[in-house]
């Protein structure tokens, strides 16, 4: 334990309004902490720079899953164990339920929150690819009100995002319109559990008579932050899935991905395997196109 608990202030106001007022009063002074699976690691390593922290854990407004006909609204502080157990998530957003099961292991899933996963902004974030291909939107809240942005516009650089200093992510909204889409998600980690993604790929696609009507692709660890792959998507839309198209999509992904070498993997592996994952998804689509 390299950090000193006595050097940090932590308060738990218990209500969203109080937290927002606090953030507004002294912008940038308070660091929100949810389940602590990221910040407490930094704390133990003596790398936690935040002097004043405000707890979001246990604020009821942030920990609910609301189900409307059109959309699911997931509170930012819903821990992944709740996402794994939720029947609607499992039925309508199976990729998100699966991603939730990838987070560390049970003791991490009980504390790590979906909002925390996004705000932390790791390029390898487990929930991000699934949220991106489901067209997730984020509710950003402050005393000034609520604004809604596409999640795809949230990250602005390595570990950077568009949150203002008085804002919190309040919820994630997922439109319930992917039931007919073919869905794909695969994570390639350092091991089967307690693993950080070396690369992960998610996809949702709508086929009509063997032609790609809609496709969304998103990756972890292929860029400084989790991202959609618009150039690769563009190659595929409106086309029948053929061997030539798959080869061309692979080439596009290899050019579009901008991964790095780090202590967990290499850029060339990440790209190569990312292309293989894409091919695996497209081959499924190809088979289905052929069948129906």
Residues at the site binding other proteins, with contacts judged by CB under 8 A = 1-12, 33, 35-37, 40-41, 43-46, 53, 55, 57-58, 81, 101, 104-108, 110-111, 188, 190-196, 198, 263-266, 268-269, 272-273, 276-277, 280
Of 131, 122, 226, 121, whose CA–CA distance to 171 is shortest?
131
Min. distance of Cβ 40 from other proteins in angstroms? 4
Q: Which is nearer to other proteins, 179 or 263 (CB)?
A: 263
Min. distance of Cβ 277 from other proteins in angstroms? 7
The upper half-sphere exposure of residue 153, i.e. CA atoms within 13 Å in the direction of its Cβ, equals 8
Angstrom distance (rounded) from CA 69 to CA 174: 11
Min. distance of Cβ 44 from other proteins in angstroms? 4
Q: Which is nearer to other proteins, 84 or 181 (CB)?
A: 84
Min. distance of Cβ 67 from other proteins in angstroms? 19
Q: Which is nearer to other proteins, 44 or 237 (CB)?
A: 44
Min. distance of Cβ 11 from other proteins in angstroms? 7
Q: Which is nearer to other proteins, 14 or 175 (CB)?
A: 14
Angstrom distance (rounded) from CA 202 to CA 96: 10
Angstrom distance (rounded) from CA 232 to CA 241: 13
Angstrom distance (rounded) from CA 66 to CA 68: 7
Min. distance of Cβ 17 from other proteins in angstroms? 19
Min. distance of Cβ 198 from other proteins in angstroms? 8
With a CB cutoff of 8 Å and minimum separation 6, the contacts of 265 are 198, 199, 221
Q: Which is nearer to other proteins, 7 or 162 (CB)?
A: 7
Tell me, letter by letter, the H, E, C secondary structure of 220-281.
ECCCCCCEECHHHHHHHCCCECCHHHHHHHHHHHHHHCCCCCCCCCCHHHHHHHHHHHHHHH
Angstrom distance (rounded) from CA 74 to CA 71: 10
The upper half-sphere exposure of residue 69, i.e. CA atoms within 13 Å in the direction of its Cβ, equals 0
Q: Which is nearer to other proteins, 258 or 268 (CB)?
A: 268
Say if residues 36 and 42 touch (Cβ distance below 8 Å): no
Q: Which is nearer to other proteins, 215 or 273 (CB)?
A: 273
Phi, psi of 214 (to 5 degrees): -135, 145
């Amino acid at each position: 334990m390299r950090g000193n608990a006595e050097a940090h202030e932590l308060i738990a106001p218990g209500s969203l309004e109080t937290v927002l007022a606090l953030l507004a009063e002294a912008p940038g002074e308070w660091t929100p902490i949810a389940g602590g699976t990221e910040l407490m690691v930094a704390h133990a390593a003596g790398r936690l720079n935040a002097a004043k922290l405000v707890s979001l854990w246990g604020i009821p407004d942030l920990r609910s899953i609301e189900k409307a006909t059109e959309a699911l609204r997931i509170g930012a502080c819903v821990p992944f164990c709740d996402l794994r157990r939720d029947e609607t998530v499992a039925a309508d957003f199976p990729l998100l339920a699966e991603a939730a099961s990838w987070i560390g292991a049970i003791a991490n899933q009980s504390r790590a929150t979906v909002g925390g996963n996004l705000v932390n902004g790791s390029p390898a974030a487990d929930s991000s690819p699934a949220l991106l291909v489901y067209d997730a939107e984020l509710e950003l809240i402050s005393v000034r009100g609520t604004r809604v942005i596409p999640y795809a516009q949230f990250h602005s650089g390595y570990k950077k995002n568009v949150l203002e200093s008085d804002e919190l992510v309040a919820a994630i909204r997922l439109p319930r319109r992917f039931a007919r889409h073919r869905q794909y998600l695969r994570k390639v980690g350092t091991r089967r559990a307690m693993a950080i993604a070396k690369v992960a790929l998610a996809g949702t696609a709508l086929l009509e008579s063997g032609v790609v009507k809609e496709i969304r692709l998103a990756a972890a660890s292929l860029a400084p932050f989790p991202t959609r792959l618009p150039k690769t998507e563009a190659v595929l839309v409106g086309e029948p899935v053929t061997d030539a198209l798959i080869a061309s999509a692979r080439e596009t992904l290899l050019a579009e991905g901008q991964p790095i070498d780090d202590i967990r993997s290499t850029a060339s592996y990440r790209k190569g395997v990312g292309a293989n994952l894409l091919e695996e998804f497209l081959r499924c689509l190809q088979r289905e196109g052929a069948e129906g």
